[in-house]
Amino acid sequence: MTTPYKDGFAPVSEEITAFDLEVTGRIPAELNGRYLRNGPNPLSLDDPSAGHLFLGEGMVHGVRLRDGRAEWYRNRWVRSAAVAQRLGEQPRPGPVHAGMDFAANTHVIGVGGRTFATVEAGALPYELGYELDTVGACDFGGGLPGGYAAHTHADPVTGELHALAYYWGWDHHQHVVIDAKGQVTQVRDIPIPDAPMVHDFAITERFVVIYDLPVTFSMEHAQAGTLLPYAWNEAHAARIGLLSRESGDLRWVEAPSCWVFHTLNAYDDGDTVVVDVVSYPKGFVDARLDAGGPPTLDRWRIDLTTGRVGQTRLDDRTQEFPRMDERRTGLPYRYGYTATTRELHDVVGRGEVELEDLPDEAFDNTLIKHDLERGTQESRRFGRGAYVGEPVFVGAGEAEDDGYVISYVNNPARGAADLVILPAQDFTGEPVATVHLPARVPLGFHGSWIAD
């Protein structure tokens, strides 16, 4: 069995707890909380789940900062029943949707003072304790009629948390709203044919923006035993749904034919809805995750009068994992952050080029700050072999970029990872602080700064 879990994605084999971490520089005193990040980390590379990047058991890595100190680092597998059993533990209590008890591996978020590991496509989130121990699967007191979603977007004005849940066995998606106290307050069914994958979406002050794109459930690939049975479907027209947050009315408009994993942000601009996304020409061609073309940062402008969608390329460099100051979610904004994502290790593995011949800029070692008002970018490049993860913005002052960008960065000299804290207003300068972790943190998916 071939596996994508190599190089920067190679899993770690043990759980570690470390206290009073070494720090270079000075941790800002206002950073009191935890930086948590989730990602797939198979218990064994012999497992079937190790054959696909989306299916490895989730492992959450966390650093707790307080009063200028890095108090601890922990990494913990999410204990689904199967994971708990293999680790010699009793399964945690909790509901299961459609028999899908999965160790959520995609995101980790804070909701109503609680912490949750999330995943999409029918499985429920898993609640974690403050120190990352698994509490159990959660349906928010029966408020979730099905599974949940990998991505959520919080309205900074109302405090409501929005999600779009889907499952291959449904003929609809569900728009789920959870209030600031962690109670499900609204579930809307949205009929969508062909059971498409909807990994992310967007919100504005007026709308929930839904991407109905040509990656749909494939019975052919499911019957063939494909680990993730979704594939590019030319017969499924690309469209964007605008769901009124007030009335629940839904309008569909024709969209550019493409695939989108992630949203940077969206907002209303008079009779236009602006949506910034990382866009691929295609996705999951022949059910392969790596087939479809390089991702770029694009802007859609949806004209509410004509229903037409204009597309502008904001940056044509290969990049992913867009984040921004989430105090501006759904509102006009200026700055965004992405990570470069050139996947050259497969080329090296085939012997087409020698590792030492590759330029520094070819590696997954660069973060980008986008000034969308000026149309400019700044790049913060780390060294060779310094695989860098998703950039998460943490606000400090009232200005949009008054804060810090934090990310796990592989330190090849130590064979371990650092938590790097960059000043957002001096993005290419030296880090404010670098927290030296005792172990490697594999490349993963998404994380959150969860303030105390």
pLDDT of residue 353: 36
pLDDT of residue 342: 61
* Domain boundaries 7-451, corresponding CATH code: 2.130.10.10
**pLDDT for 225-240, tens place per residue?**
888 899 999 999 999 9
Question: What phi-psi label fits residue 98: left (phi over 0), alpha (psi between -120 and 50 degrees) or beta?
Answer: left
Q: Where are the domains of the chain?
A: 7-451
pLDDT along the chain (452 residues), means of 10: 86 97 97 98 91 93 98 98 97 94 97 97 97 98 95 97 95 96 97 96 98 95 88 96 97 96 98 97 85 90 98 95 98 97 43 38 77 97 90 96 97 95 97 97 96 96
Q: How far apart are CA 434 and CA 439, in angstroms?
A: 14
Residue with tokens 């130590």: 414
pLDDT of residue 352: 35
Whether the pTM exceeds 0.85: the reply is yes
pLDDT of residue 210: 98
Nearest to 35 by CA among 68, 78, 72: 72
pLDDT > 70 fraction of the chain, expressed in percent and rounded: 94
Question: Are the CB atoms for 231 and 285 separated by under 8 Å?
Answer: yes
pLDDT > 90 fraction of the chain, expressed in percent and rounded: 86
